[in-house]
Amino acid sequence: MDIAEIVSPKYTEFDIGTPLSKVAGAFENQELDAVVVTDGDEYRGVVSRRQLAESSNQPSAKVGSRVQHVPTVNRTEDVREVARLMIGSGAKTLPVLDDDRIVGVVTGDSVLTAVQSFLRAASVADAYTEKLISATPDTTIGKALNTLREGRIAHLPVIEDGEAVGMVSLYDVVDFTTRGGTKSQGGSSGDFGIRGGGESPGGMGAREGDSDRMLDLPIRNLMSDVVVTARQSGTLGDVVETMFDRGISSVVVLDDEGDEPIGLLTKTDILEALTWERDDRNAIQVFGLDLLDRMDYDAVSALIEDMTSKYAEMSVIKASIELQEHKEQSRGVSLVLARIRLVTDRGYFSADAEGYGASHALRLAANKVERQILKGKTYAQSERRPDNEAQQRLYGWWLGG
């Protein structure tokens, strides 16, 4: 299945010289995940909602300084490959190029829509993230923001007495703290998650104050009091349908035997399910392998194995390495961006690095990951490894196609 039918010719575009303040205003459209950045007729990259939310930006800065170089695809790209590229790069909007000119974008939502009926072959239990990262209603907004950013997550369930009572998104918190703390409350939000926004949650009325005071407020004053849940035995297809119907991007997973929150399932987790290998033989995915002049796939695999076994016993569930070549050169050698993403039984490790030559950039990124492993610093909790039966059920449609 290729993406020809799900490419959207409609996208929001800005020139590299546009102030970030104007770009940020475009994200008031809650459906917008990323904007395309160009230099005249030349495509330069994208800037995502999450990217702006996770960083400190001067309003006068230009959008060109925040450009993220994400993979580009063509109209005939396979939907599974697109899912892999999205997971590997951390981007949920990929530009579609034709003769080096952008002709549209493909989004994570459009991919999930295309494969929704097939996702009924896999269960929530196969894909959700265990060891739920959560907060309590009394957690301060400042601590919640730190948890979201340190964990590189966008959804923070609020748990009280073993029950999910609310949800806070990264975008809710950033919007609240950067807009002077005004929050007219009185209703319930069904719009939490990666896209944030929605109606104002029920509670305390308008608040004004400086940022320090706002960060000390408990998140009960900001959280959505509507939480959508799913059982472990539910299907991924049903969850995707619920997400689209409710305009959300995550659900809290409940134990089949009771109502205890045991994990979180996001759209990203479901996209990750599309990257499962039929026999799980390729736990390490490398995008841009042709850029490595002195390393092959086996050498990259050995690098990952050495990196994860040096300091502690660790099982790699999935490793994604992405290499992107820039136009800048030094002595004829191109500047390359290397991204490493490791999903392990000890947590999620992530690092980016740039260097002249792909091998140099990759080793710099690997050094960063090594330091994270040594310090025990993970960006998220461990995830489940999908079992072979779940993979066979999900991939029946590809195998028969």
Distance in angstroms (rounded) separating the CA atoms of residues 46 and 61: 16
| CB of 352 closer than 8 Å to CB of 381 | no
Assign residue 272 a region (left: φ > 0; alpha: ψ between -120 and 50; beta: otherwise). alpha
**pLDDT per residue over 323-342, tens digit each?**
888 888 898 899 999 988 88
- For the segment(s) 284-375, the CATH number from 3.40.605.10, 1.10.150.110, 3.90.420.10, 3.30.160.100 is 3.30.160.100
Amino acid at 2: D
Count of helix runs (H) and strand runs (E) in the chain? 14, 15
| CB of 195 closer than 8 Å to CB of 33 | yes
Is 223 a residue whose pLDDT tops 70? yes
What is the residue-averaged pLDDT of the chain? 80
Q: Is pLDDT larger for residue 295 or for residue 382?
A: 295
* Cross-strand pairs, 8: 105
Is 316 a residue whose pLDDT tops 70? yes
Query: In a 3-state reduction of DSSP, which class is residue 98?
Result: strand
> Of 17-26, 74-83, 84-93, 309-318, which gets the smallest average pLDDT?
309-318
Supply the pLDDT for residue 1. Answer: 77
Q: Where are the beta strands (DSSP E) in 185-291?
A: 229-231, 250-254, 261-266, 284-287
Is 167 a residue whose pLDDT tops 70? yes
- Pairing mode of beta strands 333-344, 316-330: antiparallel
**Residue environment code for 15-33, b if the CB has 16+ CB neighbours within 10 A, otherwise e:** ebebebeebbeebeeeebb
| CB of 144 closer than 8 Å to CB of 156 | yes
Cβ-Cβ contacts under 8 Å for 54 (sequence gap 6 or more): 149, 152, 170
Number of Cβ within a 10 Å radius of residue 215: 19
Tokens standing for residue 271: 């996209």
Distance in angstroms (rounded) separating the CA atoms of residues 381 and 150: 12
The domain spans of the chain are: 13-107, 126-273, 284-375
Tokens standing for residue 395: 């991939």
**pLDDT per residue over 229-274, tens digit each?**
999 999 999 999 999 999 999 999 998 887 889 999 999 999 988 8
Distance in angstroms (rounded) separating the CA atoms of residues 209 and 205: 13
Query: In a 3-state reduction of DSSP, which class is residue 149?
Result: helix
Identical fold at 13-107 and 126-273?
A: yes
Is 378 a residue whose pLDDT tops 80? no
Q: Is pLDDT larger for residue 88 or for residue 227?
A: 227
Distance in angstroms (rounded) separating the CA atoms of residues 53 and 128: 24
Supply the pLDDT for residue 80. Answer: 84
Our CA angle for 357, 359, 365, nearest 5°, is 105
Task: Work out the average pLDDT over 92-97.
Answer: 93
pTM of the prediction? 0.69
Local confidence band at 2 (pLDDT 50, 70, 90 cut-offs)? confident
Supply the pLDDT for residue 257. Answer: 83
Our CA angle for 383, 368, 371, nearest 5°, is 80
> Of 138-147, 187-196, 255-264, which gets the smallest average pLDDT?
187-196
Q: Which of 3, 178, 165, 180 is nearest to 74 (CA)?
A: 3
| CB of 16 closer than 8 Å to CB of 5 | no
Tokens standing for residue 340: 């490493």
Number of Cβ within a 10 Å radius of residue 34: 25
Q: Which of 391, 367, 235 is nearest to 318 (CA)?
A: 391
Distance in angstroms (rounded) separating the CA atoms of residues 344 and 307: 12
Distance in angstroms (rounded) separating the CA atoms of residues 88 and 4: 21
Is 400 a residue whose pLDDT tops 60? no
Distance in angstroms (rounded) separating the CA atoms of residues 76 and 222: 44
Tokens standing for residue 296: 């092959």
Supply the pLDDT for residue 386. Answer: 54
Supply the pLDDT for residue 212. Answer: 67
Cβ-Cβ contacts under 8 Å for 375 (sequence gap 6 or more): none
Local confidence band at 35 (pLDDT 50, 70, 90 cut-offs)? very high
Q: What is the CATH number of domain 13-107?
A: 3.10.580.10
Distance in angstroms (rounded) separating the CA atoms of residues 388 and 206: 52
Percent of the chain's residues with pLDDT above 70 = 82
> Of 29-43, 99-113, 156-170, 310-324, which gets the smallest average pLDDT?
310-324
> Of 92-96, 175-179, 281-285, 389-393, which gets the smallest average pLDDT?
389-393
Tokens standing for residue 335: 């500047």
Cβ-Cβ contacts under 8 Å for 228 (sequence gap 6 or more): 190, 242, 246, 248, 251, 252
| CB of 333 closer than 8 Å to CB of 356 | yes
Q: Where are the beta strands (DSSP E) in 125-255?
A: 129-130, 155-160, 163-169, 229-231, 250-254
Q: Does domain 126-273 correspond to CATH entry 3.20.10.10?
A: no
